[in-house]
Structure 1
Amino acid sequence: MVVEGPIQLVCLTASSGVPLFTRGASRQLPFSIIGSLNGVHMFGSGHGVLLSSCETEGGEKVVWRVFQDSVMLIATSAGHQAGSSKGEPVHLQRLLENVWSCMVMVLGQDELANVRNVERLKKDLRACFGLIDELLEDRRDGVLGLLTHCTDCLLPPQPPLLQEAVQGFAAAADSEFGCLLVHGRVAAATEMWWRLAPQEIVLLSALMRSLSDSASASCDYPVFLPQGSPTVAHRLLRFQLLPGADVCVLCGPTPSLHHTESGLVGRFWSPLVDILRNCLAVGERCLPASVSLQPDVLAFLLINRENHRSVSSVLHPLCPHLQDDPALTSKTRCWELLKLFYILCMTRYFKQGEASPPKEETEEGAPTEDLVHGLSHQPLQCYLVTDECKSFGLQTPQHQLFLLFPLAVPTFALHTVAAHTLASITTSTFF
């Protein structure tokens, strides 16, 4: 498993191939290459062939996607070392889906599907760049929802009190959609918030993190819901309760930002300041202290397949007894390995669901296809041993669990530790 190279994104009009913007790598693609990438896709389309991805001799990958017969997105990634995963285009395809939904969320589907003035659209698209750059960089440790399309969650120590506050705050703001984010992860939300499409929740969380980085205490931001309301905008009201803790609601023309901030924020959240601090203290572990994990777990990603929620954490270097082991990789590398192991499992072994590429996008004769077609059953467990760590994946009807371990852990013990980890988290938190 290797580190993915820099990704560059190109956006063009689908009909004429006029470039709208490029984002990503510091060195932009020459116009001639952009024209060639667009031209080869148009050539295939004219002959009844859908070109969705390819790989060059040097290992560079390219994916294409046309949305609403109006906008084409092209993503390219730099070369990889030998042995890189065949499943990596899945990540690029997921990126294109997220970027398109981001554009719809900021501008609305009508403006993108019916391009009347290219120069004006170029100008309007600048409002998307901050969020698009966040999707491209994907450097926030602990945030995996852009890849999994499952909501990144933090499990607080006193969830009923926070849940009651979110529901009361949203109702007072004439909204059914409210959410509390702690360290960029959802700690509590209203029932209607959870009924939004999983991708919408993931992108709203990303937008909230981006707005939080602006250091503003509050904001009133218009958003379209890519699936629920792509043509009618809602207002996203966001308020910082404490550094690292933000609450937001989706609402209509009322109430005003000033009325909500001055009359409702203090009323509902001032009594819970200590509880919010306890929630913030959970930190990167994302689990309350009542959850006991085996000391040899380096990192984990747990997905609830029924409600599309996930919780993840890198416990190294949080675990003191692991800090002095020179063989262990860095915390950032642990997150990278966790992502790569997830991609490997979802493209080769586990039931893929949303994470799978469309059937026509799977390489003919690829190891993934041969392996899946050669099995008479659905794999439920898998493991991988590399020169950096050991990884184990476990799938049940309700959950998927992905774990990283130090090399010193015996391979035969991986399943036992994984089963204990799953039982410990789900029993204590009902996740």
Structure 2
Amino acid sequence: MMMMRRRRRRMLQDGSTQLLCLTASSGVPLFTRGASKQLPFSVIGSLNGVHMFGGGQGVVLSCCQTEGGGKVVWRVFQDSVMLIAVSGGGGGGGRSGAGGKEEEEAEEEEGEEEEVRLQRLLENVWSCMVLVLGQDELANVRNVERLKRDLRSCFSLIDQLLEERHEGILGNLTHCADSLLPPNPAILQEAVDAFAQAADSEFGCLIVHGRIATATEKWWRLAPQEVVLLSALIRSLSASGSSSCDYPVFLPQGSPTVAHRLLRFQLLPGADACVLCGPTPSLHRAETGLVVRFWSPLLETLRDCLAVGERCLPGSVSLRPDVLAFLLINRETRRSVCSVRPSTCQPLSKARCWELLKLFYIFCISRYFTQEETLCVSPEERTHRGIAEDFAAGFSHQPQQCYLVTEECKSYGLQTSQHQLYLLILPSVPTFALRTVATQTLSDLTAATRF
């Protein structure tokens, strides 16, 4: 078990993130997203220039930290597109006097955690661009002005990644499918399988409150990042207010150059049925025939599923009252379920609980726990993920548990061969009891849901 010293400061400094996209060869800006106050053109040019200078000297510049505590991260994809993430710090520089060394170490730790987040952001943004436009158009830029126009169709997805609009949606960070566990899974599974088969497809899913309630076996076999980004796209399409849509998509890993059709149908507000298919069926035939045939008899079952809400668990599943929030990951299926339960005994808002849960996850995977999704990426991308491996190299074993004590709450991480569990716990719980709370919570969740 890894024990961490008590940290008296917040895990994240205030700041905003700005995303820059440029052509890799000439540095022509393609778009800028995030942060209300954009960086001056001269600064953007300097960020591109220093990266190009390093490349000319045989050095790959991937990350740097500013004096104010901010972070800059660079990535070049397909030797064609450069993405730069700039994260503003909340203050900072060096400190002196008692505690100065401890503060510096804490700042260094936070910097590593922020780099993990920004690197994941750049990976997701590139995959979003491939999802919408296809790899060929991005890897072979023939007309910059046309590409600028085409990239606008990616903005809603990219903004969703930057702004994290949906509380409780952590798949962008974990690369695990955000899931909701319905009270009647067998009935819904049978309906999704039959609906997809009737649509000449093996890829179908039911999305409830932006999370996957059930899906076909082939849908789960898609690369984890593809499942996450498809869910994000479905949330974006659902927010547009349309009752149905036919949207061309490329699978960043499975089919980056050949488009598929994503058919989405609103069954009830907050519930969408989707399939990935070929030229048939037409949107009209699927909407007027298949949706009515397979989903109309299940309206009450869908309402029961919607009633689960952001808790993401059936009402029959109970949790200990001292658990404020949890994130449970199934390492085999790359699925996750999470929930926040603010307590009247703890002055933490729901939004702050979500923030702390995300930060604790980053803290754990950047130091102790393994990241299976690295097996799904190209060798060149693996070279950018050395933080956890370098830190863990000093251990003689693979850590299975860790905890963190702060003024706001106590956090506990637990890893088994099949699961990872991240908990936020009331600060009144004795530290020696955290392991018992975590093991009992994992047992209760898996026994009740078979997740």
Residues 270-296 of structure 1: CA distance to partner in whole angstroms, max 9, x if unpaired? 111111111111111111122221111
Structure 2 residue 99 is the aligned partner of structure 1 residue 73 = no
Paired residue for 1:400, among 416, 420, 430?
Answer: 420
Matched, 1:140 2:166: yes
The letter of the residue matching 2:289 is G
- Pairs within 5 Å for 1:189-268: 189-268=215-294
CA 1:399–1:23 in structure 2 vs 1: closer, same or farther (change >3 Å)?
same
Q: Unpaired segments of 5 or more residues in structure 1?
A: 317-321
**Matches of 2:116 and 2:338 in 1, distance apart?**
21
Contact 1:291–1:428, Cα closer than 8 Å, also in 2: yes
Q: Write the letter of the residue equivalent to 2:163.
A: E
CA distance in 1, matches of 2:30, 2:20: 8
In the alignment, the residues of structure 1 paired with residue 282 and residue 385 of structure 2 have an alpha-carbon distance, to the nearest angstrom, of 47
Q: 1:340 aligns with which of 356, 359, 368?
A: 359
Alpha-carbon distance between aligned partners in 1 of 2:391 and 2:274, rounded to the nearest angstrom = 45
Q: Structure 1 residue 199: deviation in Å?
A: 0.3
TM-fit CA distance, 1:358: 4.5
Quote the Cα distance in structure 2 between the aligned partners of 1:202 and 1:352.
16
Matched to 2:213, the amino acid is A
SS at match of 2:318: coil
Question: Is residue 323–residue 425 contact of structure 2 (8 Å, CA) maintained in 1?
Answer: yes
Distance 1:342 1:360 in 2: 19
Please tell me whether the aligned partners of residues 87 and 344 of structure 1 are also in contact (alpha carbons under 8 angstroms). yes
Q: Give how far 1:354 is off.
A: 3.3
Query: 2:134 aligned to 108, 112, 118, which one?
Result: 108
1:128 partnered with 2:119: no
Task: Measure the CA separation in 2 of the matches of 1:234 and 1:130.
Answer: 20
**Number of residues of Structure 1 aligned to a counterpart in Structure 2:** 420
Match of 2:119 among 83, 89, 93: 93
How large is the RMSD of aligned CA atoms in angstroms?
1.6
Q: Using the alignment, how far apart are the partners of 2:363 and 2:14 within structure 1?
A: 13
Listed one character per residue, the Cα deviations across residues 56-97 of structure 1 (whole Å, up to 9, x for unaligned) are 111110000000000000000011455441221111001001
Q: Does 1:330 align with 2:356?
A: no
Q: Which among 24, 27, 51 is matched to residue 17 of structure 1?
A: 27
Deviation for aligned residue 1:417: 1.1
**Alpha carbons 1:301, 1:401 under 8 Å: kept:** yes
Name the residue aligned to 1:276: 302
Identity value in percent: 73
d(CA) in 2 for partners of 1:361 and 1:205?
24
Q: Displacement of 1:328 after TM fit?
A: 2.3
**In 2, Cα distance between the equivalents of 1:109 and 1:235?**
16
Amino acid at match of 1:214: S
- SS at structure 2 position matched to 1:279: helix
Partner in structure 2 of residue 294 of structure 1: 320
Q: For residues 203-244 of structure 1, what are the alpha-carbon distances to aligned partners after superposition, in whole Å with 9 as ceiling and x for unaligned?
A: 000000011111111111111111111111111110111111
- Scaled by the length of structure 1, what TM-score is found? 0.95
CA contact (8 A) 2:71 2:89 kept: yes
Offset at 1:369? Answer: 7.0
* SS of residue in 2 equivalent to 1:265: helix
What amino acid maps onto 2:78 in structure 1? Q
> Where has structure 1 moved over 4 Å in runs of 4 or more?
355-363, 368-371
User: Quick one: distance in 1 between partners of 2:403 and 2:365?
Assistant: 13
SS of the aligned residue for 1:348 comes to: coil
Of 403, 409, 422 in structure 2, the residue corresponding to residue 389 of structure 1 is 409
Task: Specify whether residues 213 and 121 from structure 1 end up closer, same or farther in structure 2 by C-alpha distance, changes over 3 A only.
Answer: same
CA shift for structure 1 position 409? 1.1
Partner SS state of residue 308, structure 2: helix
Distance 2:91 2:363 in 1: 16
Q: Which moved more, 1:395-404 or 1:73-82?
A: 73-82
For residues 341-420 of structure 1, the aligned pairs below 5 Å read: 341-354=360-373, 358=382, 362=386, 371-420=391-440
Q: Rate the CA distance shift 1:182–1:371 in 2: closer, same or farther, 3 A.
A: same
| Cα distance in 2 between the residues matched to 1:172 and 1:372 | 49
CA distance in structure 2 between the aligned counterparts of 1:289 and 1:329, rounded to whole angstroms: 23
Partner of 2:3: none
Q: 1:332 to 1:358 in 2, by over 3 A?
A: same
Shift of 1:375: 1.6
CA distance in 2, matches of 1:306, 1:26: 40
AA of the residue aligned to 2:58: G
